[in-house]
Chains A and B, each alone.
Chain A
Amino acid sequence: MDLNRKYRYRQAASVRRFNDLIPYRVHEVLLVSSPYDAFILQEDGHLSERMFFEYKEISLSSAPRFTHAVDFKEALELLQERRFDLILVVTGLVDADVNRFARRVKAHPAAPPVAVLAVDRREANHVPDIVDPKVLDGFFVWNGDLVILLAVIKTIEDRLNVDHDVCHGNVRVMIMIEDSPLYYSSFLGVLFKELMRQSLSLYSEGLSDLYRKMYMQSRPKVLHARSYEEGVELFKRYEKNILAVICDIRIPRHGRMDPEAGLDFARLARRHDPELPLLLQSAEGQNRTSAIALGAQFLDKTSPSLLSEIREFLSYSLGFGDFVFRTPDGREFDRARDLRELEQKLATIPEELLHYHAAHNHVSIWLMARSEFELAEELRPKKVSDFPSMERLRYHLIETLRENRERIHRGVVSDFLPDHFQHEPFTRIGGGYLGGKARGIAFLYQMLADLDPGEFDELPVRVPQTIVVSTDEFDDFLTQNDLREFAYACQDDTEIAARFLHSRLPEELIGHLSLVVDRFDAPLAIRSSSLLEDSMHQPLAGIYSTLMIPNQDPDPHNRLRELCGAIKLVYASTFFQKARAYLLATGSRVEEEKMAVIIQRVVGQQSDRRFYPHFSGVAQSHNFYPISPQRSEDGIVHVALGLGRQVVDGGRALRFSPRHPRVMPQFANPEALLDNSQRGFWALDLDQEFPSTRADLYSTLRHFDLNVAEKDRMLTALASVWVADDQQFRDDLMLSGPRVITFNNILKHRSIALATTLSKILEITERGLACGVEVEFACDLGDWGQPRVYGRDRRYPTLYLLQLRPLVSRQLMSEVSGMQFSREDLICASRGSLGHGLIRDIRDVVLVERRDWDASCNRHIARELGELNARLQADGRSYVLIGPGRWGSADEWLGIPVQWAQISGARVIIEASPSGYDVDPSQGTHFFHNITAQGVGYLMLPSGAEKDGDECEYFLDWGWLEAQAPTWRSRYLRHLQFDKPLPIVLDGRSGRGLIGKPE
């Protein structure tokens, strides 16, 4: 199956040449991106609809056509074959490859512009260093809003057309000076959107072609400059046509950030035209006075209501091009904003109006204007007289619109239709966005829909029935209850939760939800799905609330109240301190965030008053702690009995490689498995009162002992028995002895094809996202292993996929691989490291002195280390631990025999032995659980590794360490404390680990 091709953009139905006055116009866009990144833009099939705002402005025929290439190679091939007007590289990772690609494109004399849209907003920080402006014509950052595409296309068009249009049409020019890609990306989107609205309002008044062209010529160009000098150059050049200036106060001048260059620019502009509208922006509020003194409007970039202030500035009281239902005498009856609304409202308008619009072909004309050519042409030839009755006409119109909508949405998301809702696997309520998590689920759903039906024959794979309440409902909720200002300002989570719970969801939504509780007979999970999740390209796991509700009350009103309460709490969590802090740290504003809500059937079975799946887990496509025979690229799975909290919280879970499910190298002997296996599990407590004001997942969950699961007959497939007499595990629960969750019946005896199925899923999703993935799943074994129940069909095991997300942020990936150190700046380097990530908050090093050490003191050192560790822990200090041999070895001659508690503050552990002490590296097996669960870094060095050796891949700068003044030392140990943190880089993909000297 060619998965990639399945996710290509649908191409606009028909593209006509347009008769332009503008020399350069984007018709053909070559989109270069992984299928998942493309999916982000395409979202739920609304791309073409949203893009029309721009394109109806000029003619009826200029909607851009997107051609999708999955990588640079394919893009270059396509460029050989066809002409493109713009190449847009959409990527999670901006690196030198992008430059290389652009250079190859630009080698051709008639090459189109190349722009980059970074999907990960963190990319913005280091991009100016990476992007080569000589070959790249624009760099933008995805902010979760498709309007960015307008910004990209228009910015580039305007720049290429401005000379021509100024010369021929005397168009006006707006100059915007801003250096932050993150900021101008969202700002330009807003700016263009407002300009479009203006155009559209004029157009929808029914202007003549002539006037429209005139207007089009008069539509101001927006020219974007990144520095003072660039701004001045543009200003001088288009002096006579400047309409307005929007300028950041802190911008680069003479190659350096100048905190006042923007003010100087404003002065320059002011001298030129005392009336020129100026908008000065700054993150520093104290600039307000200077700005106002210059007669400029001032925008505080940190203001939570920034976007609306911009809108206000640009607002010319414009209206959208709605479909306006009118009575034959011309009075407005109603409006439809989009196709969906049109379809809905057609069902109810009076016959009189229907007749009027049909007779005048209004629907068809309106559709043409929206680039819905196929649809328009399908409707146009039909005359009113073709239909036996007006009702048939109405039906025909609605059906045609619905079919079109379904064609667009097939495989992805269908709208929630109250009359039809029953078993649709994935439906949405309301307009707006699905949010990141829901988009991941939609992607999974589409992926499964696209696979051959026989693909997962052995173990059926599904997505649980899902309903998404899109972001418009969130907006409506906030607006209708007047919650925005309160929520932006309030700092108390409990107060926010209480106020939200006392507010009312939009009526229509409540109506839909009452159907949901009516049709769903199982417990429900209410998950957040935030707009920013995907634009950050990293999991916001645990930032927003996820709740589970029993949905058991016999009175549907109570169930509805429960569901509404859960949704309101998820909404409230958008404004909780944790979420705010997180957004702040990632450079986003809470105002930009919107929340969609996922309502999903909880996977599992009911036993007594508990509800839980047989097992849940997380599968990752990359194993950062591989132990032979596992390989990193085979991925890793953590599974546990019961609900996924056990795994997600880092509790005891079974870890296996889906390629080697029968080998658990982390368990050196049966005792290790006994000591580290799961003891209890989480289940939904069906008697728990809800909603409470505790807006967390866990208020309805309870932890139970394993024997409860055995009583519930849920253990059969998962547990073995430790038979002490035989010193063996036996996979037979008839025996007496400790129950141990081994998954032997599944992994060793392959009663269900879990490992191969997960392997396949990881492979497919990894290809889809073009990066490492993490898939959450739960499994209901149905009646597996249970006696036959007469009068009921036997239920078979089914694997449910709950979530899909990139494994680690691509930003981290790129930072890790982009991190450059010179050998002089490094304390330690190793090609044998475990773990992944950047650690930037460690200021302490504890090392075992190499001079006085010999293996006979190991036991003593362990004890001393435990004491030092306790002292450091009490001060809240974590440290890098360096010492000989195998840490935590049971054999004191092979390494320092510490217990985990004695080194619990170590965030990075280094095994560095003096030469001659050749002990096989432990590969971290001794504390394996702790190391993996806590993400401890582990670096292994060959014995005798030194800074001065020839070895570049493995060394440790003992000399430097020993030259530092110790904070404390004993005969065997030395504690170093630094003012600045040690930069630590662990690249889990290459196994490379680096520790730098304090920054």
Chain B
Amino acid sequence: MNGSVTEFMNQVKAKNPGENEFHQAVHEVVDSIYPVIEANPRYRSGKILERIVEPERVIIFRVPWMDDEGEVHVNRGFRVEMNSALGPFKGGLRFHPNVNLSILKFIAFEQIFKNALTTLPLGAAQGGSDFDPKGRSDAEVMRFCQSFVMELFRHIGPDTDVPGTDIGVGGREIGFLFGTYKKLANRFTGVLTGKGSSWGGSLMRPESTGYGVVYFASEMLSTRKEKIAGKRVAISGSGNVAQFAAEKALEMGATVVSLSDSSGAVLDEEGIDRNKLDYVKDLKNHRRGRIREYTQIYPGASYLEGQRPWSAGCDIALPCATENELNEEDAQNLIDNGCFCVAEGANMPCEPAAIERLRENDVLFAPGKAANAGGVAVSGLEMTQNSMRLHWTRREVDERLYLIMKEIHRTCVDHGSRGDFIDYVDGANVGAFIRVADAMLDQGLI
């Protein structure tokens, strides 16, 4: 079996020489789903793997533009339209000098499964340019965006391909891109996500990931007939994700016992209540201070300089800060203190050894690709609202978000149940793959 993975990977490498990032992404996915391929000969006979690694379409184009001094620059624009089995191509645009075809294919490939997992009608794509917006004036960024859309506009559309935000592309860039598209197409449609909330953007984008993690965690608890209310929740980080995770956890009746930032962690045994959370929001969002100041206002809490909050006694841990913030030792600490559920709010916060340790000890563990899919989900909901010509209230978006997280959880359970134990990592990988693969089979060779 392993030999076949190697064989397949050799083919991919031969066909896509030099695209190291892409090779790596394909290898990881193929490695995890190979048992499914084996068990389902229809995927092999339908050459699903061979088809899924080949983008449906790649567009590379010239983006000439003029800077404020009148000098001409030429950048390269890309759009990798990877897979449209489940819906219109959907994925971000990245403006960064490192952008090349390999990186974009790598992101677009991962996007297939991320989007499939949301259960929304979303295909997969990724695009961008090697343009560096850093050090550019608003006017230069605008001229670049206009030139970029002059070509891209003929390839995208609300039912064809819907680009969104990524590194170097935020609210400002989406505004310029959208304006140009609208002018060229003479149509006001939901062709891009990440729009301003007064002209087609969805509400709840900042909240979506944090809320989603908590919804997901509460679903995980329900598999053990538990409720989040009354549980002690340790959260790391104090940015967007952590703040809104804490907010939702409080709303659902849990006790939040920790938050952290890059210099240290705050443990508050009495719980970080709504007032204290408002203080943290003001501290981090307005005053941009350090979390240690918390203990000056609330002396009952303790501050751990340079540490993560994983020594806290808790039932649920939500790592929402950064990559590799939870190692094997931390995992053991959590287990020893009675934690039985870990859901990743950040991208890959748990080191592989930590995940292994959690699994061995029968701790519920949800990988970020499932637990933090709330962000992707709200982009999908932006498209939905645009198609319906509606602007939902926060509450409406929140309700949909809850349903989506619940649906993602169900997919993981369906494909990850191993007796009493649920392997969310496998469940997410397999569930997403099967959704795409079956749709591809249904739609025939196209």
Contact = CB atoms under 8 A, between A and B. Distances in A.
A748 B206 CA distance: 27
Contact of B286 (A739, A859, A899): A739
Contact of A727 (B69, B171, B203, B288): B171
Interface stretch (B131-139, B330-338, B354-362): B131-139
B40 interface: no
Nearest to A679: B287
Interface stretch (B53-61, B150-158, B193-201, B223-231): B193-201
Interface in B95-150: 97-98, 134-139
Interface residues of B, number: 33
Interface in B317-354: 324
Given A727-B170, A859-B324, A663 B135 contact: yes
B285 A748 contact: no
A738 B287 CA distance: 8
B42 interface: no
Given A627-B135, A728-B196, A669 B263 contact: no
A706 B240 CA distance: 22
Contacts of B409: none
A824 interface: no
A889 to B, nearest CB: 11
Interface string A629-663: 11000000000000000000000000000001011
Interface residues of A, number: 36
B196 A726 contact: yes
B172 interface: yes
A526 B165 CA distance: 53
A705 interface: yes
Given A628-B135, A662-B139, A705-B287, A724 B206 contact: yes
A663 B201 CA distance: 27
B326 to A, nearest CB: 14
A658 B175 CA distance: 28
B304 to A, nearest CB: 15
Interface string A703-726: 001110000000000000011111
Contacts of A677: 288
Interface in B164-221: 165, 167-168, 170-172, 175, 194, 196-197, 201, 203, 205-206
A901 interface: yes
A232 interface: no
Contacts of B302: none
B262 interface: yes
A665 interface: yes
A726 B134 contact: no
Contact of B97 (A748, A920, A925): A920
B385 to A, nearest CB: 14
Contacts of A874: none
A932 to B, nearest CB: 15
Given A629-B135, A662-B138, A725 B263 contact: no
A724 B171 CA distance: 10
A679 B288 contact: yes
B171 A925 contact: no
A726 B263 contact: no
A725 B203 contact: yes
B170 A899 contact: no
A748 B138 CA distance: 9
Contacts of A899: 262
Given A669-B170, A738-B286, A725 B197 contact: yes
Given A628-B135, A748-B138, A725 B205 contact: yes
B285 A668 contact: no
Contacts of A668: 134
B288 A726 contact: no
Contact of A674 (B98, B168, B288): B288
Which of B97, B196, B286 is most buried by chain A, counting CB atoms within 10 A of its CB? B286
A677 B203 CA distance: 26
Given A669-B168, A899-B262, A726 B137 contact: no
Contacts of B171: 723, 726-728
**Majority DSSP secondary structure for residues of A touching B:** loop
A674 B286 CA distance: 9
A727 B165 contact: yes
Contacts of B168: 669
Contacts of B287: 679, 705
A675 interface: yes
A724 B137 CA distance: 21
Interface string A660-682: 10110101111000110101000
Interface in A708-757: 722-728, 737-739, 748
Contacts of B203: 725
A918 to B, nearest CB: 11
Interface in B256-304: 262-263, 285-289
Contacts of B240: 724
Nearest to B141: A663
A670 B170 contact: yes
B194 to A, nearest CB: 7
A707 B285 CA distance: 13
Contacts of B136: 663
Which of B135, B197, B287 is most buried by chain A, counting CB atoms within 10 A of its CB? B135
A653 to B, nearest CB: 14
Given A726-B197, A738-B286, A901-B263, A663 B137 contact: yes
Contacts of A662: 137-139
Contacts of A925: 134
Contacts of A726: 171, 196-197, 201
Nearest to A897: B323
Contacts of B194: 727
B349 to A, nearest CB: 13
A934 to B, nearest CB: 18
Nearest to A630: B135
Contacts of A748: 138
A759 B324 CA distance: 47
A924 to B, nearest CB: 12
A446 to B, nearest CB: 35
Contacts of B286: 706-707, 738-739
A629 B240 CA distance: 32
A858 B239 CA distance: 25
Contacts of A901: 262-263
A275 to B, nearest CB: 78
B167 to A, nearest CB: 8
A723 B289 CA distance: 19
Contact of A675 (B138, B165, B288): B288
Interface string A895-910: 0000101000000000
A668 B135 CA distance: 8
Nearest to A629: B135
B287 to A, nearest CB: 5
Contacts of B137: 660, 662-663
A674 B288 CA distance: 8
A725 B135 contact: no
A705 B285 CA distance: 14
Interface in A520-557: none
B262 A665 contact: no
Contact of B135 (A665, A679, A727, A738): A665
Given A662-B138, A726-B171, A901-B263, 6 more contacts: A665-B135, A723-B171, A725-B203, A726-B201, A727-B165, A728-B171
Interface of A: 627-630, 660, 662-663, 665, 667-670, 674-675, 677, 679, 705-707, 722-728, 737-739, 748, 859, 894, 899, 901, 920, 925
Which are the 9 A-B pairs with shortest beta-carbon distances?
Answer: A665-B135, A728-B171, A727-B171, A724-B206, A662-B137, A726-B171, A727-B170, A725-B197, A726-B196
Interface of B: 67, 69, 97-98, 134-139, 165, 167-168, 170-172, 175, 194, 196-197, 201, 203, 205-206, 240, 262-263, 285-289, 324
14 contacts: A629-B67, A667-B134, A674-B288, A677-B288, A723-B171, A725-B206, A726-B196, A726-B197, A726-B201, A728-B196, A737-B285, A739-B286, A859-B324, A920-B97
